[in-house]
């Protein structure tokens, strides 16, 4: 059973075609890594799943619910805002630049959405936040403001914030690209733990090691199209597409 | 919790130690001054003989009931139209001549001080009231201007365009003189109220642009992150975006505040007795031009006090940096 599925997803920024007929299906509990050169449309693809970008045409399903069906930017399905919101809440998103709320402490950052959106009681939300902070290893930083944290710690808070909405699926948009090299490991570790717990994850990443080790499937994107989808073993050892070979050569043989 | 408060109080006391000492010293100095009020007799003994036959008048006192300082004016009729005045300054049990230079200015200042204070009260109240209502109004105008609902957006655009594009002076004219002629039912009979309304409507337009700029300066990632965790527009604005604008709003709003404080002088056209109006009427009635110096000092003191408040506010809101 698929968790999220896209069919012929297209996205134009004016004349520029960023995504061209991207079709992908992600199973429940699967970890999919999107790799490819910059400008390939990886981030745009991920963001359009979460409605941060409006797609030009194509279909998106979330757990059998047809969330998007557009032809030439015209929405074909009428869906109530509430239903759409429900499906969108199944996806948690982690950004490259963390995007934590700077005026709130770590604790408040994580607690805001459960209380505002899920209308949870304070005591109930606090239990969830404590558990999540423990999970990402930041229990002692609960009352700190984000500006006092390192990049790695901030990204772990961002992951906890997304998890607080109890999503069924997590989208990671280059979660380690803005980090100092020595801080990458702690974030990847949290993501590995998540994958082991069976969370469905779609990860845009430049960390080939992570893709090799954790991913169930690796998707190679190039100039707005999905060129190759396969297990990491095949992609990293025996890719069929010439573009994939060239990309991996330039990335791995530095 | 209690301990935290106690700790805060002691740091507060420590921080302003110098000021507490200065205030205490002033109080100590003032006590003997207050106890030895110079009397009218002291003054009479100093007045030259040709003035002596004329009536001596105690003109004013600083601090009522006892008075630390007081001024006396002796007058002599020279001709039917001109009067010669000698001013005396009574302080700490002595009466001094104050008929020239600094001492005269000082003595005059004491005379003028009470009426200037009445004007100051009106200026400060008008500024505080109209900036407060103006900011309140401007939040709706700013959000309205950014609204996706076209009629609301157009209305707010038109409002801001009108009130920023026409002089405050004419808006004030319109509310005080124009409306009673055109729509008698909406006549505003209180001068202060009319000024308050005009300044609020005008300030709202200016503050709206300040607030809109502050909201638009917030990183786009904040909107995206809010959307990603499921917050709707209202929740995003109230819980995430607007709290982040507070600190950025303080400097331009402080600027606006000081502008309004000085623009309050415009209310003299509807005969509201604000600080500037009082100053100019003292000038024209006594012929003493120096009163504007004192008025300037008062303006500076008010500005300094409020600037300090705004700096403290800014510090409060930048806690998280």
Query: Does B307 touch chain A if contact means CB atoms closer than 8 Å?
Result: no
**DSSP tag of B135:** H
The tokens for B129 are: 């009231």
On whether any CB of chain A is under 8 Å from the CB of B234, the answer is no
Q: Tell me which chain B residue has its CA closest to the CA of residue A172.
A: B228
Of B79-93, B112-126, B145-159, B216-230, the least confident: B79-93
Q: Which residues of B touch A85 (CB under 8 A)?
A: 230
Nearest residue on chain A to B321, judged by CA atoms? A147
Query: Å from A252 to nearest chain B CA?
Result: 31
Mutate which: A44, A100, A103, A104, vs B, most B CBs within 10 A: A103
Q: From A54, A86, A66, select the one nearest A165 (Cα to Cα).
A: A86
β-pair type (A91-94, A169-173):
parallel
Interval A105-157: pLDDT, tens = 999 999 999 999 999 999 999 999 999 999 999 999 999 999 999 999 999 99
Nearest CA in chain A to B222: A99
| B53 band by pLDDT with thresholds 50, 70 and 90 | very low
A14-29: pLDDT as tens digits: 899 999 999 999 999 9
pTM above 0.95, yes or no: no
The answer to whether the Cβ–Cβ distance between B225 and A50 falls below 8 Å is no
Name the DSSP letter for residue B48. Answer: -
**B114-133 residues touching A, CB cutoff 8 A:** none
Mean pLDDT confidence for B73-98: 66
3-class SS string, A86-111? HHHCCEEEECCCCCCCCCCCHHHHHH
Contact indicator for B214, B277 with CB cutoff of 8 Å = no
Residue B285 to residue B108: CA distance in whole angstroms: 13
CB atoms under 10 Å from CB of A107, counted, come to: 19
**pLDDT > 60? residue B200:** yes
Mean pLDDT check: name the lowest of A7-21, A188-202, B102-116, B171-185: B102-116
Return the residue of A nearest to B231 by Cα.
A117
Say what the ipTM of the complex is: 0.92
Residues of A in contact with B219 (CB under 8 A): 99
Distance of residue B153 Cα from the nearest chain A Cα, in angstroms? 23
Residue A203 to chain B, least CA–CA distance (Å): 16
| A65 phi/psi in degrees, rounded to 5 | -90, 125
CA-based nearest distance B204→chain A, Å: 26
Residue A99: which of B222, B231, B321 has the nearest Cβ?
Answer: B222
- Concatenated DSSP letters of A117-163: TS---HHHHHHHHHHHHHHTT-GGGTTS-GGGS-HHHHHHHHHHHHH
């Amino acid at each position: 059973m698929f968790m999220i599925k896209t069919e012929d997803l297209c996205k134009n920024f004016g004349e520029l075609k960023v995504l061209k007929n991207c079709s992908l299906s992600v199973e429940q509990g699967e970890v999919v890594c999107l790799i490819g050169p910059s400008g390939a449309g990886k981030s745009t693809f991920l963001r359009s799943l979460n409605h941060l970008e409006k797609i030009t045409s194509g279909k998106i399903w979330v757990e059998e619910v047809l969330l998007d069906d557009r032809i030439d930017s015209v929405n074909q399905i009428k869906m109530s805002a509430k239903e759409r919101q429900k499906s969108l809440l199944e996806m948690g998103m982690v950004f490259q630049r963390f995007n934590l709320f700077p005026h709130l402490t770590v604790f408040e950052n994580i607690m805001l959405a459960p209380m505002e959106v899920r209308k949870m009681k304070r005591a109930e939300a606090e239990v969830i936040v404590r558990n999540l902070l423990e999970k990402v290893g930041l229990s002692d930083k609960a009352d700190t403001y984000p500006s006092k944290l390192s990049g790695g710690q901030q990204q772990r808070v961002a992951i906890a914030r997304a998890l607080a909405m109890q999503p069924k699926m997590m989208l990671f948009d280059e979660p380690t690209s803005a980090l100092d090299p020595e801080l990458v490991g702690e974030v990847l570790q949290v993501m590995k733990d998540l994958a082991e717990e069976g969370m469905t994850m779609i990860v845009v990443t430049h960390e080939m090691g992570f893709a090799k080790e954790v991913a169930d499937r690796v998707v190679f994107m190039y100039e707005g199209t999905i060129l190759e989808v396969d297990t990491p073993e095949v992609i990293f050892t025996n890719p069929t597409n010439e573009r994939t070979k060239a990309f991996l050569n330039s990335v791995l043989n530095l | 919790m209690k301990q935290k408060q106690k700790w805060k109080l002691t740091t507060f006391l420590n921080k302003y130690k110098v000021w507490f000492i200065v205030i205490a010293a002033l109080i100590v100095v003032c006590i003997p001054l207050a106890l030895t009020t110079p009397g009218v007799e002291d003054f009479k003994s100093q007045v030259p003989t040709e003035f002596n036959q004329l009536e001596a008048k105690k003109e004013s006192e600083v601090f009522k009931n006892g008075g630390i300082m007081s001024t006396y004016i002796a007058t002599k009729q020279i001709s039917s139209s001109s009067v010669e005045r000698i001013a005396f300054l009574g302080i700490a049990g002595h009466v001094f001549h104050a008929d020239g230079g600094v001492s005269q200015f000082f003595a005059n200042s004491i005379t003028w001080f009470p009426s200037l204070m009445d004007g100051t009260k009106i200026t400060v109240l008008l500024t505080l009231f109209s900036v407060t209502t103006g900011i309140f109004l401007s939040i709706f105008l700013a959000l309205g201007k950014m609204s996706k609902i076209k009629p609301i957006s157009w209305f707010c655009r038109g409002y801001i365009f009108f009130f920023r594009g026409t002089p405050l002076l004419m808006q004030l004219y319109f509310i005080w003189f124009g409306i009673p002629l055109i729509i008698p039912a909406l006549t505003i009979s209180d001068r202060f109220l009319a000024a308050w309304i005009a300044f609020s409507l005008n300030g709202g337009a200016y503050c709206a642009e300040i607030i809109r700029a502050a909201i638009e300066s917030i990183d786009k990632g904040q909107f995206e992150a809010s959307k990603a965790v499921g917050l709707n527009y209202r929740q995003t604005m109230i819980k995430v975006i607007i709290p982040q604008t507070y600190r950025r709003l303080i400097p331009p709003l402080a600027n606006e505040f000081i502008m309004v404080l000085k623009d309050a002088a415009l209310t003299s056209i509807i005969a509201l007795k604000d600080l500037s109006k009082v100053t100019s009427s003292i000038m024209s009635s006594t012929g003493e031009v120096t009163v504007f110096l004192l008025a300037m000092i008062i303006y500076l003191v008010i500005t300094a006090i409020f600037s300090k408040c705004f700096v403290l506010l800014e510090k409060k809101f930048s806690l998280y940096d």
